Each structure stands twice: as C-alpha cells, then as structure tokens.
Structure 1
C-alpha cells in the first residue's frame, strides 16, 4: 500500500470511528480523531483535518436544541474566553515540537478519561458563573490551542450548570463549534492552515457522517454506561501511548 493510499485509508477509518463515538455519546469526534491522527500526523496537521467535519457534525446540536438564544446569553462570557485564549494558544501548537505537542495531547486525554470515570458530579452555583465562566473558557482555550482538543475543563463545567439534557447537548455543540472556529483561526493567524488542509478536511465529512449514523444505530442496542466506560478506557490507553512515545521514539 503506497503512502497516499494508506493516508486516505487512515483518514476514513479514523473519522468513521470518531463519528461512531459522536453518534453514541453526542460528543468525542475531535477528541478521538486528534488522538488517532496524532499517531501518524503532527498535531497541527491533525487539528487542520478537524475543521469541516467537526463544524458539520456539531451544527445540528446548535440548531436542534430548545433555545439557542438563551444558551448564548448565558454562555457568551465563557465563549469569549474560549475565542481569545484559543487563538492566542494556537501558537503553542504551531511552534512547539510535534513530539511535545503530542505529549500534551496525551496528558489532556488521560486527565479527561480519569476525571470522567471517577470524579463525582458537582454543581456550580449561579452566582459564581459571572466570573467562573470566562475563567473556564480561557483555561479551556489555552488547552485547546496547545493540544487541538476541547475537553478540559470546559466539558465538566458545562455539565455542572444544571442544564437539562437538550440544553446541555446544545451548549456542548455551541462550545465545540466556537472552539473549532477559534482553533482554525489561530492556525491561520500563525500561518499553519492552508487551502490544501481545507480540502482534506472536507473529505472527512462523509466518513464522519457515516460513523455518526452507525453510532446512532448502536446507541439503541447497547448500555450507554458500558459504551462510556469503553470509550474512556480507549482514551486512557491512547493518552498513555501519546505520553510514552517521546521517551521511547
């Protein structure tokens, strides 16, 4: 198998798997795709691949929810923090050596997997949102800019706001979309994103949507808890591999 054929085969497999996770859980496409693509591509190249499929697969979450206006009014300070910090933090992804960016991504995956598996649920009082939301957004933006993955601490924070299920899905869709656009903007600002990456990113839409369709079929046939534990275990192993790689390469 020549290099080009292998690359396209890898692209299809990765985005089908990431789409399956998205279809079952409502999230995880960029996390899984970044982790798997990180084994073959630099973090910058992998992040560039995520723009179109992540944008498309999250659009329905924003539009299908109960009230996008109410969600935006509540979360705009957090989103502003995400935008500013992600655009600035993308310099880390561009300038730091690929092996160390991969290590940072691995650490982010490990922290997210362990936290999600063992941390107790908590609730943020409404009176603290005014200052906590922009802070969480800024920290999440730095992590996103450095690793290409938007998970910590934004996802646990959104889960702590007392949103109902539909509102939470919509809020996650908004956050993922804003972070994706911000990361791509950051890569553009720092000269690391071009037309070629956009074309390759567009090619990933079909396998991602196919994976989402398959994931939605699977969701009705397996225990959500069992799938979640398998998903977190997979992220943990993937994170460990990314952390260990610089030391054994």
Structure 2
C-alpha cells in the first residue's frame, strides 16, 4: 500500500468509527466503500469483523444503563442461528438478485419512513423477536449487512435512542462474534491483517469517540432520521453495483 493508500485507509477508519459512535451501526458500510479499492475483500471483511467487536463493545459499555436483556437475548439467539444459515443459502441462491431485492426493500422502507412521522409503538413478543433475529441473521449472512433488521425492529417499538442502541448493539456484537469465529476458522486473520488492524485502530477509536460526542447532542427524532438515512445508504449500496455492472 502506498502513502495515498495509507491516508485513505486511515480516513476511512476514522469515518467508520465516527458513524458507529454516532448511530451504533454502519461502520462496515462506510469503510468498505474505500477499503475494497486498496486492500483485498478478505482483509476488508476480517477488519470489519475485528473492528466491529470493538465498536459494538464500546457502545455496550457506554450505554450499559440502557441494556435490556429481555429484549436482547431473543434477537441475539435468532441472529446467531440465521447468519450461518444465510451463508449456506448463498450456495443455492443468486447473491446478485438477492442483494438487489433486499436493497430495494431497504431503500423503499427508508424513503417511506423518512416521509412520514414515526410509527406507532409496537409490542413484540419473545417468539416474534427470535423470528426477527433469524431474519436479521439471514440477511446478514446473505448480504453482509448484519444488524439491519434488528435495528429496524427497534425503531418500531418507539424506544428512546439509548434504549434502541442498548438492544441492537449487543445483537450486532453477537453477530460479529459469530462472523469472527467463522473467519478465524477459515484463516482470514493473517499477520498482514493484524498489522492493518493496528494501523487503523487509533483512527477508528478517535472517530468512535467523536461520534459518541455528537450522538449525545441529538434528540430521539434526529436519531430516527439519521438511522433511516443510513438504512437508505445501505439499500443503495446493494442496488447500485448490480445496476452499474448490468448484473441485475
């Protein structure tokens, strides 16, 4: 990697940390747009998994007073089952068409939700939460966007921003644990990847701290809109590449 590549790598790490600190998710979405141009896809995936454990762990620590284990465990259980299932299904389904379909649904949901007031709070039971977690894991295994469905479900409940993050961040942490173990088994964490991890770590931490500072200054409605904007970006990230390449 040349000097310009190192600068881009560090800037992306800071931006990813900032977005994670501010919203609680989407770090991988931000960094992959840059890193995939300067390091390998395997290194990018391994770094996102490794940094994801750090960003979500930091978020859990900062919001520990808002944690609700009653809401966390069903979503986490479904997610840990859904991720490997989704990865297996990739061998039988068209990833291009699948990602395009999921991306379209995400974009439509985000646009609709941004154009109207917040949903009336819903009450969701344990079995429904396990099912939501399963879908969350499936989507993560099929598209690489873990935590999207659980994040959306937290918005449906009308919780405050702290309570939402106190639930979907532990679920994301569980997802990153499963992903990291899987990648470790496949040998994705090489010495070169560990060096890159150390290189980007201070920039990621600086971004994470800065993002949390901004998060503390916004209200629940602004947080809702920020999450929806990131969900729209996530949807577009799945829709645009197939259109550009003509694969959809």
In structure 2, the partner of 1:193 is 188
Q: TM-score normalised to the size of structure 1?
A: 0.74
Indicate whether 1:50 and 2:45 are aligned.
no
In structure 1, the partner of 2:152 is 156
Answer with 169-178 or 22-31: which moved more: 22-31
Identify which of 53, 73, 78 aligns with 1:81. 78
Identify which of 163, 166, 171 aligns with 1:167. 163
Structure 2 unmatched runs, 5+: none
Q: CA, structure 1 residues 67+232, in 2 after alignment: closer, same or farther (shift >3 Å)?
A: closer
Answer with 224-233 or 159-168: which moved more: 224-233
Answer with 170-179 or 74-83: which moved more: 74-83
Q: Which runs of 4+ in 1 moved over 6 A?
A: 220-223
Number of paired residues? Answer: 238
* Equivalent residues in 2 for 1:1-249, closer than 5 Å: 3-38=1-36, 43-64=41-62, 65-66=64-65, 68=67, 71-91=68-88, 108-119=102-113, 121-126=119-124, 129-189=125-185, 191=186, 193-196=188-191, 197-216=193-212, 224=222, 228=226, 231=230, 234-235=233-234, 237-247=236-246
Q: CA, structure 1 residues 9+204, in 2 after alignment: closer, same or farther (shift >3 Å)?
A: same
Structure 1 unmatched runs, 5+: none
Answer with 134-143 or 216-225: which moved more: 216-225
Q: CA, structure 1 residues 241+5, in 2 after alignment: closer, same or farther (shift >3 Å)?
A: farther
Q: TM-score normalised to the size of structure 2?
A: 0.75
